[in-house]
Amino acid sequence: MSRMPLTFRTFAIDVPKLFALTISRGTSGTTRNFFVEVSDGIHTGIGEGAPPTGLPADFCEIAPIVLAPYFEMAQTREPFEVWQAGHRAGVEAVALAALDCALWDLKAKQANQPLYQYLGIPKPTAITTITIGIEPKEVVQERVPFILELTKARALKVKLGSPAGRDHDKEIWSTAREVSAKFNVALRADANGGWTPEESIEMSGWLKARDCELIEQPLVKGDEHLLTDIFPHFELPLFLDESIRNSEDVDKFADRCHGVNLKLMKSGGISDGIKVLQRARHHNLSTMIGSMCETEVGIAQSAALSGWCDYVDLDTHFNHNPEPGAGTEFIDGVVTPRDVPGHGGYILDEYRPQP
């Protein structure tokens, strides 16, 4: 019996944040996220793309047109082959991620296995961070206890790289450290490329003395050549985030960092996300998996890979109001994939656009 042809559907959802998130590059309050569904007539896979700032406002309307040739290719090709063709053609990674993750979700559902199991990855054990953005001291004092109490998270990420300067960074960190003390959480920092080389070295020592576990992306993307100067003097584990878009970048910068942060929105999905983690291990680097502004659908597709990661930063769904998705469990601080076929993520009916 011949296989039923795959059918595709795309849609977009506006996702407002509970708290607007400010990082070194700006502030975001609502995102418009892109979804791909693929069906074989029995099973339906879903994937999400959460566009970063800088993409055209009509990205979610353009993406289906750009992806159309790859919908056709997916009829006869494996997900990695489809990803590879799109990557070589320069398809925006976020659009490719939505398609790639939908295809992997479908394959796992066809096999009647959880996606993490289908990929041969263990369930995660690493706790996830919850994030506080760059805010005034008074906001940090109120918000950190609120979000830690709300989420029951066991790790806190503090966004640094404030345009107001390093004194503001130090004030944010000191305040967050003080008000989070009673929760006994791990503390991590993310500069989002907001520091100079000199500031990076100085802040690594300052933060090390104040309970920081690691620092992400001290220098702006594009200044990776300067990492060779600061890396020998850096006093904490240095993770690259924005500098690592795909597996090719891991090989480029493995000699100037301690770890890399995989985001499926940058790698273009699971197909190359797996390779990012494999290349990191090849270079004896630590691994982290993070999120941009994904709903719980996107969190679920990333959680399927998180069992291979030393650190986890899958928290964006905690900061949505309302959260339109579901599909993971939060167990003792660990974002955990469910034992259902596929990655487990789905859009709640009340937020799902009609066909």
Q: Nearest to residue 344, comparing CAs of 119, 13, 109, 32?
A: 109
Beta pairing class for 259-262 and 286-290: parallel
Q: Is the dihedral of CA 337, 340, 344, 348 positive or negative?
A: negative
Residue type, 320: H
Q: In what order do the strands lie in the sheet with 7-23?
A: 7-23, 26-39, 44-49
User: Measured at the alpha carbon of residue 285, what is the angle toward residues 281 and 290, in degrees to the nearest 5?
Assistant: 90
Which runs of consecutive H residues, i.e. helices, occur in 152-263?
Answer: 166-180, 197-208, 227-230, 247-253
| Count of CA atoms in the C-beta half-sphere (13 A) of 301 | 39
Report the DSSP beta bridge partners of residue 17. Answer: 320
**Peptide bond connecting 322 to the previous residue in cis, omega within 30 degrees of 0:** yes
Residues of the chain where predicted confidence (pLDDT) is lower than 70: 1-2, 20, 22-27
**Phi-psi label, residue 332: left if phi above 0, alpha if psi -120 to 50, beta otherwise:** left
User: The tokens 């620092």 sit on which residue?
Assistant: 215
Alpha carbon distance 327, 321 (integer Å)? 17
pLDDT score at 30 = 87
pLDDT score at 165 = 96
Residue type, 254: A
Alpha carbon distance 52, 45 (integer Å)? 23
Q: What is the distance, to the nearest Å, from the Cα of residue 89 to the centroid of all Cα atoms in its chain?
A: 23
Report helix, strand or coil for 269.
coil
What are the chain's domains? 7-114 (3.30.390.10), 118-349 (3.20.20.120)
Q: Nearest to residue 11, comparing CAs of 34, 43, 45?
A: 34
φ and ψ at residue 159, rounded to 5 degrees: -75, 125
Residue type, 294: E
Q: Nearest to residue 78, comparing CAs of 104, 110, 98, 116?
A: 104
Token pair in block for residue 120: 């041969």
